[in-house]
Structure 1
Amino acid sequence: MLDFFTIFSKGGIVLWYFQGTSQIFTQSVNSLIKSVILQERTGSNQFTHEALTLKYKLDNEFELIYVVAYQKILQLSYVDKFLDAIQLEFRNKYKDDLQNSALSSNFDFRQDFDRILFEVEHAAKKQIQKGKVMKSFEESEKSKKSVKSMIENKKEEPPKKSGKGKENKPVKKTPVKEQEVKKTSSVPMATSNTSNGELDEETIRKNRERLFGPAKKKKSAADVSKSPKSPDNNKKRVKVGTKWVLGGTSEDAKELDYTDGTADNLDVNGVGVSLKDEELDYVGRMKGELRDVETESESEEEEEEETVTQKTSSKKSSGGMFSMFKNLVGSKMLTEEDVAPVLDKFREHLVSKNVAADIALKLCESVSAKLEGKVLGTFSSINSTVKTALTESLVQILSPRRRVDILRDAMDSKQKKQPYCITFCGVNGVGKSTNLAKICFWLIENGFRVLIAACDTFRAGAVEQLRTHTRKLNALHPAERHGGQQMVQLYEKGYGKDAAGIAMEAINFARDCHIDIVLVDTAGRMQDNEPLMRALAKLIKVNQPDLVLFVGEALVGNEAVDQLTKFNQALADHSNMTNPRLIDGIILTKFDTIDDKVGAAISMTYTTGQPIVFVGTGQTYTDLRNLNAKAVVHALLK
């Protein structure tokens, strides 16, 4: 039933393996290592790759990993028990070799493996057979019932009880007598000669009229017209049109125009654009690689450390000589119960720092699995050990699996005489066009010619916004400084057009005009909007950009997971490809507005596994940074 089993160390040394088929499992095991173990996603012990299901178990004391693989279509309930039994047997048999780090020795484990597998499979089959045995009639509940209790008698229904517990007795109808009606009202009532003393309908109606008066009739249209309050019918009512102030006519256009009269003289080359002195200082500040996100100065950190040490020293002196050893645990093997209280506090702390609740829970489960069975040092506390492990996991998550070097990739495409294409996508209002302009300014500073494709044909003012950025960028880098070449151009076809077609035309135009980079701006769309998501998938499928960047806010928490998951899912579903293009990187905007609540960075990278390429820290062209993983983790855990 099992196709593959292996035991290997975290350093990559294979100690023993079993292979039941001729299938090659190298790719599946490598995918498990890259996607789960190295990315700190070991909270769940199951991983699926193509047609295989891989289950694994970590032995943190000896730094070993046990992996078993079987077909995904099979539902094997005994695999977890098998892994526990195998781990216990292997540890007991080769404990001395593992402690002496003799990993190159010959481990003869086939007989033990076959014995444990047979025992576990045999126990699972017995349990299944026991569950399938049918009960006899004497063992069933139906046999305990008598024939009389199974007969339903609808006539003998139990009396209904009210809320107070008393039985509701049927109300007897008392006939209304003529003398009682006369006593209750001074108005003379109509009488009827009935044999049983009850009143007929006609008599009841007459009595009601005498008590309350005759029913009022609704006035007809003719009566209304005859009333003295109605206006004279001979006069015709004339409808007066509503006059709106500044309603948008040609005469109001002059009053609505607040420009200084120089807009007509502007062109996309930036001629006539007035720049401030602080904007002129932007030029030359963005050459080369971007700077990392700024963190607290070293002096501030040193001051904090001094204050902490002073507080701890005062506590130690007041508590006695041996109080410093109170929280220290030496040579203790950690269990899940030891780590759980500390991890619960860290999980609440991460959620308060804007980490999505599901992601925080998975992180803590991964750290728990990583620490279970690990032996503490002599002067190590559980709190410090958990914090160190969590810090390592967070840094590992934020560290990119692959480096996205746009300058190097754009230079390679330039040598091949092909434009390097970047597509920006995201939800509404996150700052796609603004950050596109920042990246464009950074690329111009490094000597690349850029073409902006205005593929947001849905939002009013989107093309005009890009045209304004193009004018200002060309004013900051005029063509005279670059040998007469215009550094930024805008390719736009107006509104209501097909975005995929505009992007294709823009890429072809850039190729013909030898433009280095194409930046494709798309319309903002919610992750639940299927028509717009289908249009985005079409744009990416048709044009195959070199880089697909998702622009997300640093303000969001749980919403970040939903956005990225549904964007990736929509791109995969609507592309109709076996290997669809998904999100390649993330731009985190409005990073300067969140103080130390930087949890969205963790949520986004954990969801997609893709790196944060850029971080927006302001509203000017120079407010663009690289993500510093250690700085983010420091802000997250302080």
Structure 2
Amino acid sequence: MLDHVSISHQSGLILWSRSFTPTFSALALTPSSPVNALIKEAFIEGKVRNESEGIERDGYSVRWTIENGLGLIFVVVFPALLPLTYIPALLHRVKQLFLSLFSPYLRSLVDSLTAGSIALTESSSQALKVIREKLAEERWEKIFDRCLKSFEGQDSRKQVKSPVSLRNQAQLASVTSGESSPAESDDSSVPLSAEEISKNVQSMKSRIKRGRASRGGTASPVSSPKKAGGSSAAASKLMRKWGDSPVTKEDMAALDYSAPAPGATSKGEGGLSDSMSGPVDTEGMISNRALGKRTANGYEVADWDYRGDEDELPTEDEILANGTSKLSIGSSSIRGDETKAGDEGGGLWGNMFARLTGTKVLTQEDLKPVLVEMEKHLMGKNVAKDIAEKLCDSVGSALVGKKLSGLASVKSEVQSALSASLTRVLTPKTSTDILLEIQRKRSPTATIATPDAPPEPYAMTFVGVNGVGKSTNLSKVCFWLLQNGLRVLIAACDTFRSGAVEQLRVHVRNLGALQDEMGLGDEDGGKKIELYERGYGKDAAGIAKDAIAYAKSHRFDVVLIDTAGRMQDNEPLMRALAKLVTVNNPDKIIFVGEALVGNEAVDQLTKFDRALRDFSSSGIGGAQRKRGIDGILLTKFDTIDDKVGAALSMTYVTGQPILFVGCGQTYTDLRHLRVPHIVNALLNS
């Protein structure tokens, strides 16, 4: 564990530093800090010549390395009692990475520094500002953290064999030699690790196999337990039961090898599942880097921006090989030697548009080659072909006959028209503030709420095809609602897929544990999340209706209705889904789709929306308004980089907004999709 790390210049200018403990942060401001002692003894007085020896002050060890060409000093401080053998290698690696990333900018900074001057000149101040901006752009903090973790992992694996390992070797030797190993060792205070237990089990299996082979294939006494009052040999073969014989409860019980989870309880009254109790390991369920922010209106999830995704961090080998990492400048993603080509010509589009400049009236012939390239570009971003064609036609129609003046180019006009067109398509036509809608419905002025007639809960139904992640992303939305202090009831209306109810039960258990850990529960200690389920094979519409009634009587704020996945062409299943919508009239119908698909996304969403509108009013004489998709949730958005065409295609088809996107494996991996971000991703070349 480190206490401090810093990168500075020999003139005293600190380029970057970080303290890992509050104690050292306070100590670093005092004259007696270990870093000040290093500067005094090694660089001012010249008492320390060997970097590998380092110095020790007040329980801290200080190691450093110097880059003489640029005059940079890399310093690491850690507790003197910890034998961190990886520190020299870590310093060397950090120096390599830092120089590979920032060497050009460091050169300009060093050249601008005035020897012997305490105050920075204007040029050196500007150079320092550029360095710190590049540190933020390159996400140096994240790169350093990853480098540090790799060395810490290597160090943790280089451990000397403990007494546990030696004892385990003796047990393995006794098992292999055919001796019976004791159930407990003499030193029972030291437990066996999982790896050691696994090795023991494998050794025991090998011993049993050798015993069977030595006896000519006869059954081993270990593997053939005797029945009470009889011989194991006589009872080794049971009479076979063929398929035409009736199956009894005893037969089913004999084949049931499942066991209830520790702390599991049966369903409560009314189909309410108490989920599972007992301790839950919440580590890894949330990601601190994915947390949003709390505003006056409530807790908001973070915004999605492909340029800020941590998964796009360059590897250390890429940094050292290319000399500079992957930079995001404007709307272009460039690397190394591509910078110059991208700035001068803008890539393929720049070369195409550069030939079409001047003051003239644009014609269809002028725009045709540009629009062809534009269409290919959009399809490369995963935009459906028909939609890409329509967008290009609309942009061409808006520009034909337009007069260019001055030095304006066709390139700038087309980019501006395309950006405006994409913005119009993606701008939501309805409200996307779900928290505000919940507040309005639950307000006393919306309904007459009395102790006997509490307000209606806000209901959201999640629909989509099989395997897109409805249940998983429903749980992410549930966690976001819990963070906003709302009581949530999840209705398990997927009564077809095996394990669907159990999956939701696990999510409810995890979210309940997170609620307790993060202090999101009620003041009286009550639960803010519960699962309503009736098992399998039941009518989903009836379960949803009963769940909403239960939520109303128990004053839940929101009901999240999980439905079974179904293909868009399966009319009986689509009618069943429309029945659920007709009977319960949810406030929001959310289509859950994958961001990976292109043309298929348009087909899925179009047919889901059409089926709901065609079938949702059946059974009530057509008096109720026909319902369609109200919003979209796109999953697996962390797998597509800037190929966000599915979001554009789905919004273009229905005119409904993208409410959320799923971007990871934790409950906090939910993002808002802002219009400027997706436009930049689509225009990124």
TM range (shorter): 0.5 to 0.7
Partner of 1:588 in structure 2?
634
Q: State the one-letter code of the partner of 1:272.
A: G
Partner of 1:519 in structure 2?
560
Partner of 2:383 in structure 1?
355
Partner of 2:524 in structure 1?
483
Partner of 1:614 in structure 2?
660
Q: State the one-letter code of the partner of 1:388.
A: S
* Change over 3 Å in CA distance of 1:589–1:315 after alignment to 2: closer
Structure 1 residue 265, shift from structure 2 partner: 10
* Change over 3 Å in CA distance of 1:315–1:512 after alignment to 2: closer
Partner of 2:677 in structure 1?
631
Partner of 1:387 in structure 2?
415
Question: In structure 1, what is the Cα distance between the partners aligned to 2:522 and 2:489?
Answer: 18
Structure 1 residue 482, shift from structure 2 partner: 3.7
Aligned counterpart in structure 1 of residue 647 of structure 2, from 601, 626, 629: 601
> What whole-Å deviation, never above 9, does each CA across 1:394-452 have from its counterpart, x for those lacking one?
12211212221111111222224221111111111111110100000000011000011
3-state SS of paired residue (1:552): strand
Larger deviation: 305-314 or 376-385?
Answer: 305-314
Aligned counterpart in structure 2 of residue 550 of structure 1, from 559, 582, 591: 591
Q: State the one-letter code of the partner of 1:426.
A: G
> What whole-Å deviation, never above 9, does each CA across 1:267-287 have from its counterpart, x for those lacking one?
836531321434377699455
Question: In structure 1, what is the Cα distance between the partners aligned to 2:601 and 2:406?
Answer: 42
Partner of 2:304 in structure 1?
293
1:272 aligns with 2:278: yes
Q: Show the 5 A alignment for 1:7-46.
A: none
Question: In structure 2, what is the Cα distance between the partners aligned to 1:404 and 1:465?
Answer: 28
3-state SS of paired residue (1:279): coil
Question: In structure 2, what is the Cα distance between the partners aligned to 1:590 and 1:240?
Answer: 49
Q: Show the 5 A alignment for 1:421-460.
A: 421-460=459-498
Question: In structure 1, what is the Cα distance between the partners aligned to 2:354 and 2:375?
Answer: 24
Q: State the one-letter code of the partner of 1:574.
A: F
* Change over 3 Å in CA distance of 1:542–1:327 after alignment to 2: same
Structure 1 residue 571, shift from structure 2 partner: 1.1
> What whole-Å deviation, never above 9, does each CA across 1:322-354 have from its counterpart, x for those lacking one?
x99963533311122211110111111111221
Answer whether contact 2:462 2:592 (CA < 8 A) is retained.
yes
* Change over 3 Å in CA distance of 1:281–1:597 after alignment to 2: closer
Answer whether contact 1:330 1:377 (CA < 8 A) is retained.
yes
Structure 1 residue 480, shift from structure 2 partner: 5.9
> What whole-Å deviation, never above 9, does each CA across 1:506-556 have from its counterpart, x for those lacking one?
111111111100111111111111111111111111211111110010011
Aligned counterpart in structure 2 of residue 410 of structure 1, from 422, 427, 438: 438
Tell me the TM-score normalized by structure 2.
Answer: 0.52
Q: State the one-letter code of the partner of 1:342.
A: V
3-state SS of paired residue (1:408): helix
3-state SS of paired residue (2:329): helix
Structure 1 residue 377, shift from structure 2 partner: 2.7
Aligned counterpart in structure 2 of residue 500 of structure 1, from 541, 548, 557: 541
Question: In structure 1, what is the Cα distance between the partners aligned to 2:354 and 2:555?
Answer: 70
Question: In structure 2, what is the Cα distance between the partners aligned to 1:606 and 1:365?
Answer: 15
Gaps of 5+ in 1: 1-238, 317-322
Partner of 2:428 in structure 1?
400
Structure 1 residue 253, shift from structure 2 partner: 4.1
> What whole-Å deviation, never above 9, does each CA across 1:141-171 have from its counterpart, x for those lacking one?
xxxxxxxxxxxxxxxxxxxxxxxxxxxxxxx
Partner of 1:341 in structure 2?
369
Question: In structure 2, what is the Cα distance between the partners aligned to 1:491 and 1:325?
Answer: 59
Q: Show the 5 A alignment for 1:250-265.
A: 250-251=253-254, 253-254=256-257, 261=262, 263=264
* Change over 3 Å in CA distance of 1:261–1:506 after alignment to 2: closer
Question: In structure 1, what is the Cα distance between the partners aligned to 2:546 and 2:682?
Answer: 44
Question: In structure 2, what is the Cα distance between the partners aligned to 1:341 and 1:308?
Answer: 24
Question: In structure 2, what is the Cα distance between the partners aligned to 1:518 and 1:262?
Answer: 26
> What whole-Å deviation, never above 9, does each CA across 1:143-201 have from its counterpart, x for those lacking one?
xxxxxxxxxxxxxxxxxxxxxxxxxxxxxxxxxxxxxxxxxxxxxxxxxxxxxxxxxxx
**Which of the pair has more CA radius of gyration?**
1
Alpha-carbon RMSD: 3.3
Q: Show the 5 A alignment for 1:93-132.
A: none
Structure 1 residue 308, shift from structure 2 partner: 7.0
**Count of aligned pairs between the two proteins:** 389
3-state SS of paired residue (1:277): coil
Q: State the one-letter code of the partner of 2:580.
A: L
Q: Show the 5 A alignment for 1:78-227.
A: none
Q: State the one-letter code of the partner of 1:633.
A: V
> What whole-Å deviation, never above 9, does each CA across 1:230-282 have from its counterpart, x for those lacking one?
xxxxxxxxx97789xxxx9645544x66x875556998365313214343776
Question: In structure 2, what is the Cα distance between the partners aligned to 1:325 and 1:450?
Answer: 54
Structure 1 residue 471, shift from structure 2 partner: 1.0
Question: In structure 2, what is the Cα distance between the partners aligned to 1:636 and 1:242?
Answer: 62
Tell me the TM-score normalized by structure 1.
Answer: 0.56
* Change over 3 Å in CA distance of 1:626–1:281 after alignment to 2: closer
